Every structure is written in structure tokens, then in C-alpha cells.
Amino acid sequence: MEEQRGGVIGPEKIRPDGSLKSHMSIVPVGRENLSNAVPPHESYEGRHRWDPEAVWTEKEEAHLVWHTDLRLLSILCVMFFGLQLDRGNLSNALTDSFLDNLKMTTNDYNNGTTIQLVCFLLAEFPVQMLTKRFGFRLVLPTMMMAWSTVCWAQAWITNRASFYVTRALIGACEGGFIPGTILFATYFYKSRELATRLAIFWSTLNVARVISALLAAGILQMRGIGGKPGWFWLFLLEGLLTFGIGLFSFLYLPQSPVATKSFLCRHQWYTEREEIIMINRLLRDDAAKGLTAIKEPAKWNDIKGAWKDQSMWGLYLLGLIAYIPQTPVQSYLTLTLRRLNFSVFDSNMLSIPSAVLQIILMLALAKSSEYFNERTFHCFIGEFWSLPLLAALLALPARGYAWGRFTLSTMISG
């Protein structure tokens, strides 16, 4: 095989005497050119828009990305907001004598949290397989309506057993939602564009923490209405709000970039020209996206293949340990503040600074990562940040120093 600048010439293009045939075809070198040599699979939804000769301007592509941010990213962020609202309101409920009302201890709370996380983990793979089988448009909103139903229903829990059951159901219904949503976004965005969008997703979780704290500060003042504690109204109202978001998503979400009609959107999001740009820019960024359909069922062999991929083991390990230092501090922040004699209102309001700090740092790191095109060092910055703060928190005396504990806990959680 003979090489030339910009491409590779196959032996079938060379005459016996060594000269080139006139109908020579050159495949350019580069990831962005793979889609020209590897056509999308027949089952790929956007195959009819694939055009190796398609060209467009940066302005057209920027307008398309902005349009996608407005139509898709916005609703995905609202869905993430609903996830965090129902996942984090237990922390707010702790400030309203939740454990005392149910005659539970901190250990019971720990057990409930563990049960939720185990069920969350066990649901991950089955949910991804359901998503690939039935599509994101159906599965993601259904999950939201399922866990929100459990959330508002837990307003009627009366003891430790019912607390454990609702924690298990919420974990099972939420498991797989985050990776499913992120995977859905990859069908609309290029790899380089995802860093900022994922940062916006995670920032939405912290925006939800801020809004949840503000809501809790007001809703928990409803204690006594109807003879119910404040946490009863917190679970009920926030659960119903999330159910409404799930129902709206069910009626709004698109099927794919070339199938964006829905009950609430009677017309396609993109023109034919925009669909051509969308599909070809995605395939030129990653030709593998055209090898499977969105609804192509995943198989257990796919999961085993992912586990056996040694290039992913470091990422799995990082995902396993990344949040271990910060999670306990964040999970117990409101309870810690109450035990430091802060009021119910103050305990919820003082949980806001850590969320705001996390939003700022996350967006800054995402922008820096995108600018320098570097991931590894940026992933470890959070661990380097937390280590000395954790050491300082452990060094504090067992009693007193309420504002010092608050400051260190806020910086660790952020």
C-alpha cells in the first residue's frame, strides 16, 4: 500500500506498472473524515441526512448549537433540577425534627441512605437496557413520574420500616437517570461541546440545592397546618412539582435529532438543512454514533465488553472514589448545623453558600478543561482542594467553633 500526503491509496488503485489509475479515490486522514469512509448503519435514524460532501459555515453551526441548547439543554436541566429536588429534600427535612417525629436515630438515617444508594446502583444497568430498548423519550420521563410519586407519598410515612421502603423505591426509580440523560445529550452534541453542557447539568443540581433550601425555609414553616409536620408538606409539594416536570417532559422530549415532533411540538425543531448539518457534524466528530440506532437494544455482551475494556478501569476507579471525601460532609450539613444550635430557617439558608461555590468552581473548571483540552489534572483538583480542609475539620475540638465548622464544611461541600 502506497501512502500520500492527506490519504491512503489502496492497491486496487495501482496499475501493474506502478502508475495510478485515473479514477483513484483518496480517503483523507483524520477522525473527522472517518464518516466519509464508514457510512452510518442502515438502522441509524439520521442515515437519510448523511452527506459526505455537505459543507456549512461556522455561523450556521453555532446557530444550530444555540437552537439545541434552547430546545433540548433547557428541558434536560429542568429534569436534573427535579432529580435533585426529590433527592435532596430529605436533608432539608432533617432540620424539622424528622428523625424525632419518626422515632429514628442517626444510624437509621444512615441505613436508609445506604439502602437508597444500593437500589440506585442495582437499577443502573437494567435502566440503561430499557432506555436502549424503548428510547429516552419514554423511559426518562416515566422514571421521573415514578420517583416523584414515591416522593410525595413518603409524606405519609410513620416509622422506620416505611422510611426504608420509600428510600429503596426512590433509589430504584432514580438509578440510571443521570447516565441515560447524558447519553441522550451525546446524540445532539459533539464531544468537545459536552464538557460545558455536562458542567451546566451538574450546576443545575446545585441550583436545585439553592432553590430547595429557599423552598424548604418557607415550606417548613407550614408545620401545624392540618396537624401535619413541616416535612410532610415539603415531601408532598416538591414531589408533586417533580411529577409535573416529568409529565411535561413526557409530552415534550424528542425521539432523535431527526424526529423532534412531540405532543407539545407539532413541528420539527430543525429545517432539512439544519438536520443535514446536525447529522454530518456529529458523524464527523465520532463516526461510531452512526453504527447503532437510538432504540437498538443493548445486550449483556455489551456490558461485559465494557467491564473488560482495560482502558476504562482507571475511569471506573476514579468514579468510585471521587466523591467519598465530600459526600458525608454534604449529606450531613443541615443536620450538623441544627446540632450546632442554628434554627430550622438558618440551617436551610446556610446550605446555600456551598451550592453556589460548587457552581462557580465547576463552571470554571469545565471552561478551563475545554480551553486546555485536558481532563486528568482537572479531575483531581477537587481531591487536592478537599484534603487540607478535611484535615482542618478533624482537628477542631469536639465542641464549639460553630462558624468555623460551617466555613470548613461549606468549602468541602463546594
pLDDT digits (tens, 9 = 90+) for 226-272: 999 999 999 999 999 999 999 999 999 999 999 999 999 999 999 99
Task: Give the mean model confidence (pLDDT) for residues 342-355.
Answer: 83
How far apart are alpha carbons 236 and 98 in whole angstroms?
14
The pLDDT assigned to 39 comes to 77
The pLDDT assigned to 345 comes to 83
The pLDDT assigned to 286 comes to 83
Rounded to a whole number, what is the distance in angstroms from the first to the last CA of the chain?
56
Task: Give the mean model confidence (pLDDT) for residues 337-356.
Answer: 83
The pLDDT assigned to 21 comes to 46
Per-residue pLDDT tens over the stretch 265-298: 999 999 999 999 999 999 888 887 887 777 777 7
The pLDDT assigned to 261 comes to 93
Helix, coil or strand: residue 256:
strand
Whether residue 203 has pLDDT greater than 90: no
Highest mean pLDDT among 10-14, 110-114, 142-146, 387-391: 142-146
Q: What angle do CA 72, 75, 76 make, to 5 degrees?
A: 80
The pLDDT assigned to 173 comes to 93
Helix, coil or strand: residue 50:
coil
The pLDDT assigned to 29 comes to 52
Mean pLDDT for the chain? Answer: 84
Whether residue 8 has pLDDT greater than 60: no
Helix, coil or strand: residue 8:
strand
Query: Parallel, antiparallel, or unpaired: how do β-strands 2-4 and 27-28 relate?
Result: unpaired
Whether residue 77 has pLDDT greater than 60: yes
**What grid cell was written down for 251?**
409530552
How far apart are alpha carbons 168 and 165 in whole angstroms?
5
Residue 306: band (very low, low, confident or very high) from pLDDT cuts 50, 70, 90: confident
Q: Where are the domains of the chain?
A: 2-37, 52-309, 324-414
The pLDDT assigned to 271 comes to 93
CATH fold group of domain 52-309 = Growth Hormone; Chain: A; (1.20.1250)
